[in-house]
Structure 1
């Protein structure tokens, strides 16, 4: 990787404007909104409330073409049975509940849409005149969206790029038994999915005694806290490492049930034999 120091705002970004782009009003998006409000920054939200049925069908057809009918069956099964492995009580952001989201929703500009790239969504983004877009659980963005802000768009990817790119990377990483590459990457959005310049990357250690759902929640929260660190560094004018990603690794689709089950079983076996980290 080519590494060099990047200080886009040597005097900080005292009046920065941010737009958080998400789907389904995800708590991880409102975690960032809460952080930016605490920092006294202007923030807005562009939220996709769901894909139209025709788009969902198109996606399933593409996944069937690329990965086969068995994969699609496993993916649909995962939507039904995933809670067996990731219990709903294990949440990454317990402080970001429905009431908290509703309160912030009434405080900041929000545009709801079923298509992040439609004319009105793009017009909303331009009207906000953002310095940065922060991606928090959104589908792949097209160039006409992520080039709107003055300084670009940033994404929190729950995987170690470029080795693990795409969807459900903690699941795929654990399913492969690659426990040393569980972690997250904060990177610039580019034309290559999860392949833009890296600003922060960290491994997340497995913890003996922690169940699978707790581990998934902790990994998710760690990535968002790392995202907040990058935002603070930008606001405060600190130097960030600019790391150009190599063209290696693999792009992963959403995990089917069999992969989730394998990740769960390998995780439990790993933490059973792993000693607690020294403190």
Structure 2
């Protein structure tokens, strides 16, 4: 970690860890509007090769390639969704822009040694993960405070990725939502703090679902952070069927779009 990336020596009660992007900055800016001391730790995004190898080991090379193809298509289509994304931000009073007024620490990964150094220096009262790698068991055990996560899906039935999309594909529209939960060693298996549900608009699709769910969850995220700061966290075990989700393959995405109208 370079010298200019060292965190401020001023103790900050709230530390947000993220890989960056408009959706996490919506959360960070919402917290900064409500709370005085927010700092940000940004990790380098995972490389496509790293993601492919991990998924190929678990799901097979064909499935892994198909999922990455879908994510590449969704990324390209975000430009076409610009107007809808602006409408989401306006509706929820959300700001997705990088905030230059907040202290930012850059690290390789939330599991890297420099991350622990930064946390030790800051001594936060609460840590919030938004769009990061999974925190390892050893790193989680070293954290001096509660670690929360904003997940764009209702746990435990839509753990993993693209929870909102899968709830629609499976005809489970009442569970189109997000979960704020404590982080444990599993993937979105920690105890639930809050859930936030909403309704997608006709023009929403794979590229806009995460932003819509993030925006809808902002009040609940702020409340969870306040609960942590005041010692009032009230976690409860997530109940119901549990399933780990992944992005659809490109061919499954197209099939669901054509046959079900869910893109």
Structure holding more strand per residue = 1
Mark the runs of 5 or more structure 2 residues left unpaired by the alignment.
Answer: 1-10
Residue 65 of structure 1 aligns with which residue? Answer: 57
1:32-79 deviation line (CA, Å, top 9, x unaligned): 33233323422211111223x5xx434312312322232123123213
Matched, 1:21 2:20: no
Structure 1 contact 36–42 (Cα < 8 Å) conserved: no
Residue 8 of structure 1 aligns with which residue? Answer: none
Rg larger for: 1
Structure 2 contact 165–209 (Cα < 8 Å) conserved: no
Residue 137 of structure 1 aligns with which residue? Answer: 131
1:213-262 deviation line (CA, Å, top 9, x unaligned): 55553223112342123224445x49554211248411112332234334
Q: 1:210 to 1:144 in 2, by over 3 A?
A: same
Q: State the secondary structure of the residue aligned to 2:128.
A: strand
Residue 108 of structure 1 aligns with which residue? Answer: 102
Query: Which is worse superposed, 136-145 or 64-73?
Result: 64-73
Mapping of residues 29-178 of structure 1, within 5 Å: 29-51=24-46, 53=47, 56-82=48-74, 87-89=80-82, 90-91=84-85, 92-93=88-89, 96-97=95-96, 100-101=97-98, 104-105=99-100, 107-178=101-172
Separation (CA, whole Å) in 1 of partners of 2:152 and 2:259: 19
Separation (CA, whole Å) in 2 of partners of 1:244 and 1:269: 30
Residue 245 of structure 1 aligns with which residue? Answer: 238
Greater relative CO (CA pairs within 8 A, separation 6+): 1
Residue 199 of structure 1 aligns with which residue? Answer: 193
Q: State the secondary structure of the residue aligned to 1:32.
A: helix
Matched, 1:231 2:225: yes
Separation (CA, whole Å) in 2 of partners of 1:59 and 1:121: 21
Structure 1 contact 186–198 (Cα < 8 Å) conserved: yes
* Corresponding pairs, count: 245
Query: Which is worse superposed, 56-65 or 114-123?
Result: 56-65
Q: 1:255 to 1:227 in 2, by over 3 A?
A: farther
Query: Which is worse superposed, 127-136 or 146-155?
Result: 146-155
CA root-mean-square deviation: 3.0
Separation (CA, whole Å) in 2 of partners of 1:85 and 1:264: 14
1:114-134 deviation line (CA, Å, top 9, x unaligned): 222221121011111011110
